[in-house]
Amino acid sequence: MKDHASLHVHSSWEPIFQPIQALVDAIIQSLDDEECAPPKDSIFAAFQVDLATVRCVIVGQDPYPTPGNAMGLAFSLNPNVSKIPPSLKNIFTELNSDQGISTPTSGDLSSWMKSGVLLLNRVLTTRVGESTAHASLGWQSITDHIARELGKRNVVAVLWGQQAQELSSYFPLRVEGVHPSPLSAYRGFFGSHPFSRVNELLISTGRAPIDWSL
């Protein structure tokens, strides 16, 4: 993959990206004059893992627009950011309730990626300081394609909220629920045990459960 923004993709993803490379290139080119979140060299950070290790995908909406927060993994923060956004706080609350894992001091979710979890935003970029600024650039076609490929591999999908659930049809194995944002978390996110449910689906299909420790 020759495009400068795609250099950080693990080689196992190259056959997946090949059919959509022209669209990826066009979107990246349209961002030339934009200050992006995440930074351009981190847009494809989620794809730095070997595809063969991915057993679960958690789908977010679009990156954090706050300068310095987004780092290319859905819901995850740069490790040097001390203020945890409300949605991630709610995820940590449910993680503690479901798995007994103490609330971490950092919002960096990279260790989940190492445990087989792909942290994929529906839209891979936004303009710094502005939510959903890049919702019309065509990223959804990219993430539709990726979701289709993951579903063929029986990856378990965690789909919180309407945007994530647009991908439901691609995943035979999925955990769906309301978004963990403060606006909706009390309408069924808390107490939904998504982490246990993912592991139950993995075990039921003969695979190792995810280590959700952070």
Neighbours of 198 (CB within 10 A): 24
SS3 of residue 115 by DSSP:
coil
Q: Report phi then psi at 190, rounded to 5.
A: -65, 130
Q: Is 62 a catalytic residue?
A: yes
Inform me whether the pLDDT recorded for 136 exceeds 90: no
Judge whether residue 1 has pLDDT over 90.
no
User: What's this model's pTM, rounded to 2 decimal places?
Assistant: 0.94
Domain ranges of the chain: 4-204
Tens digits of residue pLDDT in 82-125: 999 999 999 999 999 999 999 999 999 999 999 999 999 999 99
- Beta bridge partner(s), residue 158: 58, 175
Confidence label for 209 from pLDDT (cuts 50, 70 and 90): very high
pLDDT digits (tens, 9 = 90+) for 164-174: 999 999 999 99
What size, in residues, is the chain? 214
Average pLDDT score, the chain: 94
For residue 114, the one-letter residue type is K
Q: Is 12 in a helix, a strand, or coil?
A: helix
Is a pLDDT exceeding 50 seen at residue 4?
no
Residue 5 pLDDT grade (very low, low, confident, very high; cuts 50, 70, 90): very low
CA distance 171 to 187: 24
The one catalytic residue in 32, 50, 62, 211 is 62
Strands 156-160 and 126-127: unpaired
Cβ count near 103 (within 10 Å) = 11
CATH of 4-204, one of 3.40.470.10, 3.40.50.720, 1.20.58.1910, 3.40.50.300: 3.40.470.10
CB 70 within 8 A of CB 82: no
